[in-house]
Structure 1
């Protein structure tokens, strides 16, 4: 349903200007008039400008003024657009307003262009086009909305476009109670922003703030109450690189409502949904099912549900009050179509006629359980379903879902979470308890040949039950088999390259139990790839993409929005590989469970058969911001077992499968090469001395603050080595991920550079330890260089990785590491330069710089 969700918040996509005229477009409820006299005075500072760095469309708003009047059922908008570039000429030279002429009047007041101090009046009723676009027809919804559209001619860079209009009228379906939502954010920069609401003092309007939005200031104006927001700081939320839950909205907003309880909304809905009478045609249908079902009311309900779901097609004519008032059941039955409220009222009538307790229930498919955060209001809902009880058992039924199969006792309901049951005396929202969500079982079975002369065979069997069977059945019914097979094939091509389909996709559909099975067969050409690191060795790369697609990697290092999870969802996913000879495999397992999800993985081998078993289940529809750090770590662990590389040398005897997190001998060899090079340089540096040769070398013992510094120097080589291993620089999984990436060459260079940097820091840490213990004269300067190098390399590493991932946000661990580097440098570098203890402790030159007698004494 389109108009069922916030019908009073029309999609006003424009901004305005003008002079008073008396031209009327009678058939479209459109006219050009002076501005209304009820407006509250507002004087914007038109010299203000926003932060021009935020402009992305070539223009900004000098003014966005919105005034609402509850008693006149009116909303006024006044906007000034400032065009600053050619892009703004393209994007800002059109005005459009959506409205419903069935109950709304659109009154334009001004439309002008300011240029070099001149005012050019553009307002011309004859140039408005009125389009009935019906953008929701693709969803089978006819709303009756019109768009008043005006293309402004001769717009130039530097122009100001100013316009204003008023929408008068209210949907007659609603009582004389006020409700609205005031959004205090915007997608474009705004210099002056003003909103206000005028209402009679007799109205008890309550307000609720979201996302730290300020509540309005209340004062008296012309004898009525004025609620206003003035001089607001408009903040545009940051876009996330991952999906957020449907109920999440980061924009600041304030909800207003005169409804004080949910029972008041129920009482309104009872009047709107009252059934007038049961027609003979409807009674005949009821009598037929009663005869077939006998005393079995559950069977009767199943027949009624299947009829409304499958034989009453979905089509909504939601014009005027029918945005919320359903069509009567006899009318829906006669025309065989209706929207969610039409089909729900029809089903309720059919059930009630056989003595089944059934009621409409209002839900919101976006807000879901977050409905409890809002003030009661009849426009908070965008969907109607049915709540029924039979023999003491409760049922939640969505009559708009097609292709649901199986017994009605196990009928699935989507994750709506909360609903308002329209039943006399009901005072609160109800929890929607799903009867059966089902499960998805997928098996990918590979048969790998002994050489590349023959292709590998891949057979995929996917089993869906309950709600997942309903979804995939609907998908197959609405998509051509040709398109389905192409999309399935393209999916595996994206992973394994040269793949062809062996047979057509096979389907087995079962009504009872509610199951749906899909079988696919493919041939993988030249499956074995030459291993560039070991002569004669081949490799096969496999990944559990079905699972990793469900759990995205969060590229943003400082996420500030919840992550959406597919919920409810349960996946059992097995990848089986039939190898050309007996195989060996390291036993691996991963078990993660928290309040949001469960991930389990095991790897096993039986002779030639290798089995990778993944299980995943979601427990909520999101991961909150506070748990995203844990999620990132869990996703990293999953990444280590979700991609495997199997190595095989034909004719070399028993083969061994190498998992993705074994050591990469190439990277280890490269690391040892870097260590050797830096060690040679370190030895050369160790032999240097910086102090003049003295005959009376008598260094102070290490003490004072040097003890604390020494602890860090002693443990530094070990911590650097552990960090290098944990970061995966020596891991085969990291190597495979890099060489299979789209930008593999660039990522490989960055990886080698990072390996070299870590090798340098490790060798340097050992050098510092030796210099410190021997109290060498070069230690202070060498340690100062170490602090500077650590800070520089950490920053360069962030820049390089950020450039690769197109995200320069700082991760918490990076911020911590760099902060520690800065603090350490700020404390210890001045200490090394100024401390008397340092000057008298680190005075020993290298033995080659000492006279013979001093050399003998030192040795």
Structure 2
């Protein structure tokens, strides 16, 4: 049976939309406020009434608006009104009408409704079963007043945790509209208490206010009402204020409820439905090999399908189903991996995270819907590791796999509180580089050796798999062009005329240690930079050692997020010329020690060149702001003072030496 996504329900129209009540709100046009908004060509809404109703097994969103169609864009928008609906949602259209010359004209007979699939993301692993319901309305006129009244009802399946937890975030409208009357109401019919918490509201001085939470009891409402109202735009460098409406529960209560749901999915016998992988695991020599095989199987052989609706509130898919179908979302893949690790006797717990936005998790009111992703926390040999089962490009033993940054997480274990992943540094460098630049007869032979680990190795493997060899060489050509400051001599589009004999290859790929070794070679004609009739040879690496984003970060609420690799680099520049061994910057060394990074540079200078050794040790998963950020910025400024590479000055031949060469 085909699902109906919309219904026309004129019997649900509210009295305010009827002809007999038209005069009471059309008089708004006589007000000074209305005239001022129209004079400014601002779109005017006579009324806006929004009602969110939380119920035990559903949520309804009611909207009623009457607004001017005084300019073509608004006319076009009203004539093609669209609604995005999930599989659980149904649209009820109560009223579609216009007021023209003081008369209400019903437009429900002048509509054509189209229901089409709606795709948010071209990524084939992501799907959401959403529909786009577009209502095409005929014969709308410029300067009509458009009235629209709808309800969207979302029903939850019995297995949905939305039956136990409600969350709704309210933020005030922006300044696009002016409102004669504006009303927002949240009705609580859930039979549980809801709490409203106020975030990022400020006084006139811009200081964030500590506002008391408001409790919304069962069958009560929280209402916001305004008259002659213009919304406020978010101030630059500030987060827009919002109200968090959430079922009143603590994180320990939440994790107890969700843990009870998940436990039944863990209590299974792996050998009964996955005999093949059990045989494979039993044949491996060590526990480390078994763990690696388990992670590789789930990450690479179980296809990742992301369904937003299911991730948003449903029970996880059973491990047996995930194993047999070889597909599942993050919860399904993580549950399967945990079941396999349980078989191996390795301790693990499913955790909820929110990549990228989790710095504000301590601000939000406790709710399972503060999170949008599930991964696995593994404890092995007294060390904690976090494994994302949805990654397909990761490699290595447990300790060598990619370490993702996230600040906070919720462990699905009874009584668990919100926990924090502390900032961390790479134990061994993620990047080790050795650059040889040997110049003879005004041509430089470049050899660039790289050993990449963890996420850096994963990313480069994907590059070699997906990009052509020519494209990869071009990327490396440009990196060398930039690092040697050759942009001072010629444009990027001239690189090919100066670079020859270029090649790149993978020398070794150790998938157990997740290490990838690469070597790049090139010959560069005329590699010297000439300034004031003097020649220089340079090699600097901005991307490796300079974090210039910190100085440009001024947001009042967002901290600055540091997520940088430990890098060890050797630079060896040699020439067939003598160099100035006493030049200050050539000899300059540093040992910068900060709370947030350490950076050391040493040099070895000889007659025909110099070597530079750099070790850069920043942090991953570190957030800082205000005075702490100032200290980090200062450390970066110290690196920027010629402590991120090396340049050598060529001593030009004297007259007698030049004459001697002529007679050879």
Name the TM-score, length of structure 1 as normaliser: 0.61
Give the 3-state SS of the residue equivalent to 2:276 in structure 1: helix
Between 226-235 and 327-336, the greater mean CA deviation after superposition: 226-235
The equivalent residue for 1:69 is 53
Structure 1 residue runs of 5 or longer lacking an equivalent are 1-24, 241-248, 656-859
1:215-264: CA deviation from partner (whole Å, max 9, x where unpaired): 6997999x931212334874433566xxxxxxxx8121222222412233
The equivalent residue for 2:662 is none
The equivalent residue for 1:147 is 132
* CA displacement at 1:183 relative to structure 2: 3.4
Question: Superposition pairs for residues 170-181 of structure 1, below 5 Å?
Answer: 170-172=155-157, 173-181=160-168
1:766-817: CA deviation from partner (whole Å, max 9, x where unpaired): xxxxxxxxxxxxxxxxxxxxxxxxxxxxxxxxxxxxxxxxxxxxxxxxxxxx
1:572 paired to 2:568: yes
1:505 paired to 2:489: no
Q: Work out the CA distance in 1 between the residues paired with 2:76 and 2:535.
A: 56
1:325 paired to 2:315: yes
Question: Superposition pairs for residues 533-548 of structure 1, below 5 Å?
Answer: 534=532, 536-539=533-536, 543-547=540-544
**Structure 1 residues 155, 591: CA separation in 2 closer, same or farther (over 3 Å shift)?**
farther
The equivalent residue for 2:195 is 206
The equivalent residue for 1:651 is 653
* CA displacement at 1:350 relative to structure 2: 1.7
* CA displacement at 1:267 relative to structure 2: 3.2
The equivalent residue for 1:408 is 398
1:257 paired to 2:238: no
**Structure 1 residues 335, 230: CA separation in 2 closer, same or farther (over 3 Å shift)?**
same
The equivalent residue for 2:5 is 28
* CA displacement at 1:565 relative to structure 2: 3.7
* CA displacement at 1:513 relative to structure 2: 2.6
**Structure 1 residues 383, 217: CA separation in 2 closer, same or farther (over 3 Å shift)?**
closer
Q: In the alignment, is the contact (CA less than 8 A) between 2:349 and 2:411 conserved in 1?
A: yes
Q: Work out the CA distance in 2 between the residues paired with 1:383 and 1:99.
A: 22
The equivalent residue for 2:623 is 622
* CA displacement at 1:384 relative to structure 2: 1.2
**Structure 1 residues 127, 432: CA separation in 2 closer, same or farther (over 3 Å shift)?**
same
Q: Work out the CA distance in 2 between the residues paired with 1:341 and 1:654.
A: 78
The equivalent residue for 1:373 is 363
1:54-106: CA deviation from partner (whole Å, max 9, x where unpaired): x9x996877654321113621123456656766666777643221223x2211
Of 338, 348, 362, the match for 2:352: 362
Q: Work out the CA distance in 2 between the residues paired with 1:106 and 1:501.
A: 64
Question: Superposition pairs for residues 572-651 of structure 1, below 5 Å?
Answer: 572-583=568-579, 584=581, 585-586=583-584, 587-602=587-602, 605-619=605-619, 620-641=621-642, 648=650, 650-651=652-653
Question: Superposition pairs for residues 36-75 of structure 1, below 5 Å?
Answer: 48=33, 65-71=49-55, 73-75=59-61
Question: Superposition pairs for residues 424-823 of structure 1, below 5 Å?
Answer: 425-432=414-421, 439-451=430-442, 454=443, 456-492=444-480, 496=486, 497=492, 498-499=494-495, 500=499, 502-507=501-506, 508-531=508-531, 534=532, 536-539=533-536, 543-547=540-544, 550-552=547-549, 554=551, 559-560=555-556, 562=558, 564-567=560-563, 569-583=565-579, 584=581, 585-586=583-584, 587-602=587-602, 605-619=605-619, 620-641=621-642, 648=650, 650-652=652-654
Of 369, 389, 396, the match for 1:399: 389
**Structure 1 residues 560, 81: CA separation in 2 closer, same or farther (over 3 Å shift)?**
farther
* CA displacement at 1:195 relative to structure 2: 2.5
**Structure 1 residues 233, 560: CA separation in 2 closer, same or farther (over 3 Å shift)?**
farther
1:343-370: CA deviation from partner (whole Å, max 9, x where unpaired): 1111112222344443322222133354
Q: In the alignment, is the contact (CA less than 8 A) between 2:195 and 2:245 conserved in 1?
A: yes
**Structure 1 residues 230, 482: CA separation in 2 closer, same or farther (over 3 Å shift)?**
farther
The equivalent residue for 2:19 is none
The equivalent residue for 1:301 is 291
* CA displacement at 1:411 relative to structure 2: 3.7
Q: Work out the CA distance in 1 between the residues paired with 2:165 and 2:529.
A: 69
Q: Work out the CA distance in 2 between the residues paired with 1:505 and 1:58.
A: 59
1:738-792: CA deviation from partner (whole Å, max 9, x where unpaired): xxxxxxxxxxxxxxxxxxxxxxxxxxxxxxxxxxxxxxxxxxxxxxxxxxxxxxx
Q: In the alignment, is the contact (CA less than 8 A) between 1:261 and 1:427 conserved in 2?
A: no
Which of structures 1 and 2 has the larger relative contact order (alpha carbons within 8 angstroms, sep 6+)?
Answer: 2
Give the 3-state SS of the residue equivalent to 1:212 in structure 2: coil
* CA displacement at 1:144 relative to structure 2: 0.8
Q: Work out the CA distance in 2 between the residues paired with 1:116 and 1:652.
A: 95
1:150-176: CA deviation from partner (whole Å, max 9, x where unpaired): 456677776665534221123321253
**Structure 1 residues 610, 337: CA separation in 2 closer, same or farther (over 3 Å shift)?**
same
Q: In the alignment, is the contact (CA less than 8 A) between 1:417 and 1:431 conserved in 2?
A: yes
Of 230, 235, 257, the match for 2:225: 230
Structure 2 residue runs of 5 or longer lacking an equivalent are 17-23, 203-208, 487-491, 658-664
Q: Work out the CA distance in 1 between the residues paired with 2:400 and 2:60.
A: 48
Q: Which has the higher strand share?
A: 2
Q: Work out the CA distance in 2 between the residues paired with 1:352 and 1:518.
A: 38
Question: Superposition pairs for residues 75-90 of structure 1, below 5 Å?
Answer: 75-79=61-65
1:610-655: CA deviation from partner (whole Å, max 9, x where unpaired): 3455443333533314445555555444444258776546324999
The equivalent residue for 1:134 is 119
Between 249-258 and 637-646, the greater mean CA deviation after superposition: 637-646
**Structure 1 residues 156, 299: CA separation in 2 closer, same or farther (over 3 Å shift)?**
same
The equivalent residue for 1:108 is 93
* CA displacement at 1:197 relative to structure 2: 0.7
* CA displacement at 1:446 relative to structure 2: 3.1
Q: In the alignment, is the contact (CA less than 8 A) between 2:577 and 2:651 conserved in 1?
A: no
How many pairs were matched up? 608
Give the 3-state SS of the residue equivalent to 2:503 in structure 1: coil
Bigger Rg, which one: 1
Q: Superposition RMSD on alpha carbons, in Å?
A: 4.4
1:537-566: CA deviation from partner (whole Å, max 9, x where unpaired): 34556542323664337457x653546444
